[in-house]
Each structure stands twice: as C-alpha cells, then as structure tokens.
Structure 1
Amino acid sequence: MDFILTIQAAYAGMNHAIKLIYGDLDKSFQLIRSYLHMVQHCNPDSIIDLETDGDDVFNYCFMALGGCIRGLLLSGRHVVVVDATHLKGKYKGVMFVAVTKDGNEHIFLSYQHISLKNVVEAVFPGVPHGLCTYHLQKNLVRYGANAVAMFQRAANSYKREQYDLHSGQLTLLRDKGAYRKLMDLQPSRWARSHCGVHRYKFMMSNCTEVFNGRLRWGRRLPVCTLLEFVRTLISHWFAEMRSKALARTYPLTEYAALKLDISIEESRIMEVNAINAFKSQLLLVIETMLLIFVLEVVLIMSLILT
C-alpha cells in the first residue's frame, strides 16, 4: 500500500523532532526566567529584562550581552540599526535585533521581543529615527524603475543642491503619489543631505538582515533554545575576532588597513611635473587629495580609539 505524506503530517513530524531534540515549546517559556538569570550570572555587565502580564504570562524579554555593550561603548559607531524578524514556532512572535558596527565593520547587537516604536520612544527620547532606504525604494517599485533610481540618487546625495535636483525629478512622474509619500515621511529620516546627525554609511539595514539570515533555522526553536542559539553564535564571533586582533601587529584594524593600502596603490600612478602654472596647480590638487586622505586616516583612528 502506498503511503502519501501530507504537508500537515510532515509539519507535525518536524515539530515532534524539534521537541525531542531541543525541548518542549511550552516548557521553554517556564524555564526562561532561570535561563536569563544564568546568562546574566555567567556574562558580567549584561542587561537582561523579562516582562510578564498580571498572570505571569510571557510578554517579551530583552538581552544584551556584556561583551556587546562594552564593544559598543569602546569602538561602536553612534548609529544603531534595528530590524525585525518573524519567529516560526508554535506561538509565532517577532524578534527585534539592534546592530551597530565597529571600526573593523564587525557588528555588536542586542535582541528583544518588543515593539520597535516603544523602544525608540522610551530608550532614545529625542534621538533621530532614520529609515532604511532599501525598504523605502521597494515601495516605489510600482511607480517604475525611474522612480527608484531618482530616489536612490536623492537619498544618497551629500549636498542639498544635488538632493533638490534628483528629488525634483520625482515630481515630473505621471503618478505624483511617490513624491507625496516620501515628503510625508520627512526627508530628514531618509535623505543623507537632510539628516541632522552623522549616519556614517548606514543608509540601509542590511547589517541586521545578514544576522537575521543566520537565524533562519533558529527561529523555529523554543524560546530558551533560540536565545542560547544567538548567545552561542555571538560568543563564537567574539572568540574568532579576539584571536585575529591578538595576531595583528598593525595599529589599524584590518578593514582600515585594507582601505589604506588601496589608497596608497592608487596614489602610485599619480605623476606630477612642475613645469608651468597648470602643472603647479595640478600639484596643488594632488596635495589636497593627499591631505583629504590623511584626514580620513585620522578619522578612522579616532573611531577606533573612541
């Protein structure tokens, strides 16, 4: 007799296997208070919070490991990128991940089950809240490729004049909805030229998307196992980065040193001959470029040391 495996039976079998290997989904919520206590005990300076309702039913939790906090304070850039990923277990839910980068383009993060709006208003009152340009441009696809290209140029412009030129082109589209929606969202939240603070290179939330991709399987696990999955992953990253850092003899980070080497190689092809006024002016331009390059190196060093 032939046996037909239905989707429902396969799904039930997968959940049963997860229960046997990683624990029961319901019991995991009963253990979360003990788990978070041990995490805080074994990871000094960690910040842990658990929120329940009047019947002691789980609402959300927050966990930021001490290593992530120290990394943020010592070398993290002053921009925090937050994104959400949906959990796939029996009770669903949402996990928010907060990420920033250090001088070597490595990430530090915390993770939580909570409303993003509540976090921004309660923890960072008065701090500018920017938007991911990638997610915004996805909303413009229905207006055509030209609308997306105009938006990208406007969002990434450094000068107001360039922004005015590219954003003004959006008003020439047949459908005026794209321009109105962007203006309703306020350019200060998505345009580099209008941002009142330094966004560094954080115009998109792709650094959180990369981390969420590593959680693809973990999102199906019981809550305690999921948090342990994340903690183990971060600990592995820290151990690997520490080994690489101890092996380095150069004062700059690997990322900064690579940019420095590329700039040096590019400068080798420059040829300057002081023959006339034009050549002297060219020398001045090249000297200015070298001065800008030195200032960039100083800026990178300050980011590493602060």
Structure 2
Amino acid sequence: MYVKCSVKGCLWRISARVGRKSTPFLRVATFINEHVHNAQDNLRVEHCSSASLIASIIIDEVNDHIDRRPNDIRKTLERDYGVKLTYKQAYRAKQKALEDIHGRPDQSYMLIPWICERLKETDNKTVAKWVGNTNNTFERAFIAYGCCIEGFIAGARHVLYIDGCHLSGPYKETLLLASAYDADNELLPFAIAIVKGETLEDWTWFSYMIKEIVGSMELTIVSDRHNAIIGVVQAIFGGERHAYCYRHVKENFSAQMIKLNRGKRKTSGKAREERLQYLDAIAYARLDTEFDGAMDNMRKFNPQLFEWLLNHGDVERWALSKFPFKRWDNITTNLAESFNAWMLKERRYNVAQLIHEHREKVACSKHSNE
C-alpha cells in the first residue's frame, strides 16, 4: 500500500506491506510526516469515482437499505467524505454494491436448477421446476411450497387470484403469481413463477403447473381480462370458472363514461360517483331480482352505459348473482395486488435471492399462523 499527499510538490507519504501471510497487519516501510502546505487550504481533493471504489464504501449501507436511492447516496457521500458524484455515478456504484452482495445476474441464473432440486429435497411436497432453452439457459422457474399447497387444498376456499408484475432488479422480467384467502381471510401465497413476460406461452406453462398440483379439484380463477389469461383458463380450467376482477371492470366503465362525455360539459364528481354506485349495485346484488332492479336503474339513468354493459361488460363474469360458482364476496384481484406489495422489496433482487427471500417470508408467515 502506498499513499501520498495529493497536493503537488508535497512530501507527505506513507508505504506499508504485509509482514507475513499469516498476519492481517501491515508493516510501515516509509513514513514522511511533513506537509509543505496548510492542510486547511487544500481540503478540495480530486477523487477516483470508479464504481468499484464507491461500492466498497456504500456496500454496508446498501445491504441494510436496499431501497436507498442514488440521490440519497450522493448526499451521504458528500456529507461524510466530501465526495461529489453525479446521479449516474451513484447509480452505477449502487448496482456494483448489489452485485457484490448478491452476485451477478448471470451467476444467479446458474443457481436455479440447484435451488429447485434443493427445495424438493427439503420438502418432497414442494413443487419446484425450471425450464431452459436449447443452451440450457434459464427461461422459467415455478415454485409452490408444500405448506402452501397443503393449506390451500385442505383449508382454503378453492379460488385462486392470479396476476403478473414486473421485476425491477437485474433480471427485468415478470413475476407471475397465484394466491388465495386462508380460513382467516388473510393472504395465502400459493405459487410464483419467474418468466419472460405475460405471454400466452408463459401463462399456459404457469397454469398447467397449477393444474398438475390441484388435479381434478374444481377451481375458480379470478384475474383481470388479460387476453392471454382468458384463452389459457378456457383451455386448462374451463372458461365457465373464470371470474373477472370487478376493479378492472370499474376502470373500463369509467373510461367508457369519459368517452361518452367527450366534447360535452364537464361532468361533476358527484355525477361520476353516482354512476359508479349504480354499477356497484349491479355487482353486489345477491338475488336475481336485485340484479334485474339494479340493471333497470342503470338503463333509466344512462341508456348508453347500460348498452355498453350488455355488449362489452361481461356481466356474468363479475356480478355476484350471475357468476355460477362461489366467490365469497371477493370479486376483485386486490389479494393479488396485496401479494405484489408483499413482494415489493424482493422484486428488486436477482432471481436466486428473490426465491430465497420469498421462501423465508412464506416460512415466517406459516410459523406466525401456527
């Protein structure tokens, strides 16, 4: 190690080397403790802004606070070390620190086959499978833990809420998920899959894996009206058991209201709320007579919205009184959104770390329920 004063012409320097391989100590070889300038006049020092150097400084902070933003890192380094970085430099340093902590993304992919095999060895009821391409490169991974499978089959309502969300870590693909309500009306994670995107092929593979687990069980699927999901549920579970999320219906209904009112006088918030209340009455009606009355009220209130519901609303997929199977009043995919929020931090990790953290969370929630 060799350190010298950065001020041009200054004699101050120190050098040291390892004395013996078995000791962690350095032996000072040279030390000239003499400055030819006033140190207080030379506090502005040029620094090396390599990502590796900065990452070594912030690695503990990033490990403890993975949500730390690059701008926060910039402020901390300037305050504590007098080092000024651009946003891009701070971002690179954080990515390098995460790589040092969790490994490179390509390294994490190589661990997927091993992770899947270890999960099955740990619990033979756990379903863990991965798929690679012709080069044996990771493409998809599916995981359903034994405790979740047992809990769903033995003690949960046989309704699965499925959705997809983007991963924000080094593997920027998609997380597919299936979850249910347990006996206490709380989140029961059932299965996850890491895939390239919400494509027909990926949803088919994910749904087929679920079907392999549940077998001949009569299962209701609740989802948004994603085109890929509609076709897949029809083919694997039967289209009649596919319910649509009412929240997404509401969003489409609101968009239709805006379209019909385009070019007209601005609609008040109270009027918009009134129309949504008419829609709520249709959705939550328990008896056919209540449903018919709610639809008639919508027709009288706004014939155009009534026609839209008849032709494009798929009412039988979300209205309680029209869907032929039990939904226990849970007519949205809010549970899937809760799962997304539950996994918010883990979605920023690489694939191997995401699976590990998800397993830890499932284990902790299982023990807390017990």
Q: TM-score under structure 1 normalisation?
A: 0.71
Going from structure 1 to structure 2, the CA distance change for 1:177 and 1:30 (only over 3 Å counts) comes to farther
The 2-side partners of 1:174 and 1:167 are apart by 10
1:30 to 91, 100, 110: 110
CA contact (8 A) 1:140 1:147 kept: no
**In structure 2, what is the equivalent of residue 259 of structure 1?**
none
CA contact (8 A) 1:170 1:179 kept: no
Q: Is 1:86 equivalent to 2:214 in the alignment?
A: no
CA-CA distance at 1:188 after TM superposition: 1.7
Work out which of the two has the higher radius of gyration on C-alpha atoms and give 1 or 2: 2
Q: How does 1:67-216 map to 2 (within 5 A)?
A: 67-108=147-188, 109-113=190-194, 114-115=202-203, 117=229, 120-121=233-234, 123-126=236-239, 128-142=241-255, 143=257, 144-172=272-300, 176=304, 179-180=307-308, 183-216=311-344
Q: Name the SS for the 2:328 alignment partner.
A: coil
Going from structure 1 to structure 2, the CA distance change for 1:155 and 1:43 (only over 3 Å counts) comes to same
1:18 to 98, 109, 121: 98
Q: Deviations over 1:193-231 (max 9, x none)?
A: 100101112211122222211211111100011111111
Q: Deviations over 1:180-200 (max 9, x none)?
A: 256424212111110010111
Higher strand fraction (1 or 2): 2
1:225 to 344, 348, 353: 353
**In structure 2, what is the equivalent of residue 234 of structure 1?**
362
Residue ranges of structure 2 left out of the alignment (5+ in a row) = 1-43, 45-77, 195-201, 204-227, 258-271
Number of aligned residue pairs:
242
CA-CA distance at 1:31 after TM superposition: 1.0
The 1-side partners of 2:306 and 2:97 are apart by 48
CA-CA distance at 1:29 after TM superposition: 0.9
The 2-side partners of 1:175 and 1:8 are apart by 55
Q: Deviations over 1:20-78 (max 9, x none)?
A: 11221121111111111111111221112212222323322211101111111110101
Greater Cα offset, 3-12 or 94-103:
3-12
Q: Deviations over 1:121-147 (max 9, x none)?
A: 454245511111112212333423333
CA-CA distance at 1:15 after TM superposition: 1.8
CA-CA distance at 1:165 after TM superposition: 2.5
1:40 to 115, 120, 125: 120
| Aligned sequence identity (%) | 23
Greater Cα offset, 69-78 or 44-53:
44-53
Q: Name the SS for the 1:31 alignment partner.
A: helix
Higher helix fraction (1 or 2): 1
Higher RCO, 1 vs 2 (CA within 8 Å, ≥6 residues apart): 1
Going from structure 1 to structure 2, the CA distance change for 1:126 and 1:140 (only over 3 Å counts) comes to closer
CA-CA distance at 1:97 after TM superposition: 1.5
Residue ranges of structure 1 left out of the alignment (5+ in a row) = 243-306
Look up the equivalent residue of 1:228 and give its one-letter code: H
The 1-side partners of 2:147 and 2:116 are apart by 16
Q: Name the SS for the 1:194 alignment partner.
A: coil
CA contact (8 A) 2:278 2:297 kept: yes
Going from structure 1 to structure 2, the CA distance change for 1:167 and 1:12 (only over 3 Å counts) comes to farther
